[in-house]
Structure 1
Amino acid sequence: MKVAVFSAKSYDRQFLDAANAAQGHPHLLTYYDVLLRPKTAALVEGHDAICAFVNDDLGAQTLERLAELGVRLVTLRCTGFNNVDLATAARLGITVTRVSVYSPYSVAEHTVGLMLMLNRKLHRAYNRVRDDNFSLEGLMGFDLHGCTVGIIGTGKIGQIVAQILHGFGCHLYGYDPYPSQAFREIGTYTTLETLLAASEIITLHCPLLPENEHLINATTIAQMKRGVMLINTSRGKLVDTKAVIEGIKSGQIGYLGIDVYEEEDSLFFQDLSDTVIQDDTFQLLQSFPNVVITAHQAFFTRNALTDIARTTIENLTCFEQGLPLANEVKQASP
């Protein structure tokens, strides 16, 4: 198949090329280091499929253009599919696949890394020592042992976060419409309200759906313990950034660690070091000493990229050969 790969960085090429070469009849991959948008959709002319990432626009307008150009398959090299208009895709006869599972340890370990960095102020300590400042003033943290941690979303990633924190000796609360036995063995399921009120650390590991956009908002922040640590390595729009900023200013939120941001598509995965960032909300967020931001890198391990590339190529091959699509995404029934 001829496949146009969007948002393609050097590491995408490396891992996709390796996975593609490993199969007997490789696909023809054309790489574009631009976001897929209605105005860039013309690049897919002559291709049978497109491969997209988290910040590519697969809304109705883009999909209409893709269909006009003969695209029959959209394969996502990510787990989330909130950027795809599934109803339009179905209407146009475009099949959508994704990477249902990749190394969950990558995101889980990064999540705990953010907790440790914020708690022990490792980012500030690192910069101090580089400036020959060896003072400990302002660097005091707390023991994770004995802390109550609320995990919103206890799928595979949430379960692994729970396992790691269980090893630290944390008390674990979970909230998920679909409870898992694995979490029950080390933690306790409760209501969202109880989790928010009882937890010293809250971490998000749920998909972004219409019903949970801005799950973290002014109302839910007010229900949290004062000085709470909030972590988001899931999807940016789970969090109302402006409400979080107000929470930081008031002291209601004591620490914030995010790997995702609700307006990240104009920022992340590119070098903007020589430009002036026009997003005032993001710039304000960066200014707080108790905030750590990473640029959607929680998934970024060689293990995860190997899994993602292999599944992406398998999705292409299964579609081309008319085989069952284990990773197909369809619009939920009403």
Structure 2
Amino acid sequence: MRLTVFSAQPYDRDSLEAVARERLAGRDVTLVHQPVALSLSTAILAEGSQAVCVFVNDCLDAAVLEALQGLGVRAVLLRCAGYNNLDLAAARRLGLFVARVPAYSPEAVAEHALALLMTLNRKTHRAYNRVREGNFALDGLLGSTLNGKTVGLVGLGQIGLATARIFHGLGCRVLGHDPQPPAAFAAYGDAVALDALLDEADVISLHCPLLESTRYLIDAVALARMKPGAVLINTSRGALIDTEAVIQALKRRQLGGLAIDVYEQESELFFQDHSHDYIDDDLFVRLMTFPNVLITGHQGFFTAEALREIALVTLGNLADFLDGRACPNAL
């Protein structure tokens, strides 16, 4: 059988091919890597494939799924945890097998959230550039001690719990909000209502999925509730944040800092090299003008261990499909 991998970067190819030699040994499976994202116009690249493998910014709406099914595709493998880009009802109507990677390395994303905060707080990115130019002045690099600060985590799944462990270890007071707080969180902090978290936290870190109920969870009203000077971190999904409202909060100095690894319009930007072109996104360009804003290009998952785990689970899901077994990661 043939598996077409969309949005395939060199590191995707390397990790999937390496794991395929272990996970799919003895099976006649060919992986075809396509660097372009899946959309209605690119779905034709899956012709002749019985399965496709997709990532966070690939389009899986009803029209694309119908096109894939018409080409003979029977399985959709998401090499990620979130599936807000998938029309699950349409997939079920079309009889498509769909599976994801529910948790590949919570610690990788949690550690990246910490890295973003530490960099933004202690301004190590600016200090690095200064020192390279022979400038050892400290003016403008003043940070805050995190020990003793209150950190609010919105979403207490595996990533949220891993983040809670880190901040608890730093001596922070940890607050968490989740519709169903796990019992394990009690070892690291206190579960509270969202409004209480917004009122009290010095740092707010988002670790929840993008659903209709969480879209623009951080809007103008939520931002107004935050402590003046609070720092907001987002390593989950871009549309959890109303970008225009965040820009206004930064301009008013209500928000003390913003560190994001995701962006609501990232599909046109992230995972590609735009260094030789202009960025045609006014909101993103405006964000980059603030000295207290730090942006990375959706790299929170990007560790060697996480890439291997993603490949193992993804191809394990494919093996379940091929063998007709019940798949624990099926949607």
TM (norm. structure 2) is: 0.98
**1:79 corresponds to:** 81
Aligned partners of 1:126, 1:244: CA distance in 2, in Å? 27
Amino acid at match of 2:289: S
After TM superposition, list the pairs within 5 Å mapping 1:303-318 onto structure 2.
Answer: 303-318=305-320
**1:171 corresponds to:** 173
**1:105 corresponds to:** 107
What is the aligned counterpart of 1:270 among 269, 272, 291? 272
- Report how far residue 60 of structure 1 moved: 1.1
Amino acid at match of 1:65: A
After TM superposition, list the pairs within 5 Å mapping 1:1-334 onto structure 2.
Answer: 1-23=1-23, 24-26=25-27, 27-329=29-331
Amino acid at match of 2:140: G
SS at match of 1:70: coil
Q: For residues 161-220 of structure 1, what are the alpha-carbon distances to aligned partners after superposition, in whole Å with 9 as ceiling and x for unaligned?
A: 111111110001100011112211120011100000000000000011111100000010
SS at match of 1:229: strand
Aligned partners of 1:303, 1:105: CA distance in 2, in Å? 10
Aligned partners of 2:209, 2:186: CA distance in 1, in Å? 20
Aligned partners of 1:61, 1:219: CA distance in 2, in Å? 35
SS at match of 1:216: coil
Amino acid at match of 1:279: D
SS at match of 2:213: helix
SS at match of 1:210: coil
SS at match of 2:310: helix
Aligned partners of 1:90, 1:167: CA distance in 2, in Å? 43
Aligned partners of 1:143, 1:182: CA distance in 2, in Å? 27
SS at match of 2:83: coil
SS at match of 1:211: coil
Aligned partners of 1:301, 1:157: CA distance in 2, in Å? 15
**1:332 corresponds to:** none
Q: For residues 62-111 of structure 1, what are the alpha-carbon distances to aligned partners after superposition, in whole Å with 9 as ceiling and x for unaligned?
A: 11111111111100000000000001111111111000110111000000
Q: For residues 277-303 of structure 1, what are the alpha-carbon distances to aligned partners after superposition, in whole Å with 9 as ceiling and x for unaligned?
A: 100110110111000000000000000
Amino acid at match of 1:17: E
Aligned partners of 2:272, 2:90: CA distance in 1, in Å? 29
- Report how far residue 130 of structure 1 moved: 1.3
Amino acid at match of 2:142: M
Q: For residues 144-163 of structure 1, what are the alpha-carbon distances to aligned partners after superposition, in whole Å with 9 as ceiling and x for unaligned?
A: 00000000001111111111
Identity of paired residues, percent? Answer: 52
Amino acid at match of 2:35: D
Aligned length: 329
Aligned partners of 1:103, 1:184: CA distance in 2, in Å? 22
Aligned partners of 2:181, 2:260: CA distance in 1, in Å? 25
Gaps of 5+ in 1: 330-334
Aligned partners of 1:234, 1:246: CA distance in 2, in Å? 22
Aligned partners of 1:236, 1:174: CA distance in 2, in Å? 20
Aligned partners of 2:236, 2:44: CA distance in 1, in Å? 31
SS at match of 1:230: strand
SS at match of 2:290: coil
- Report how far residue 25 of structure 1 moved: 2.4
Aligned partners of 1:159, 1:196: CA distance in 2, in Å? 18
- Report how far residue 137 of structure 1 moved: 0.5
Amino acid at match of 1:74: V
Q: For residues 226-276 of structure 1, what are the alpha-carbon distances to aligned partners after superposition, in whole Å with 9 as ceiling and x for unaligned?
A: 011000000001011111010100001111000000000000000010001
SS at match of 1:247: helix
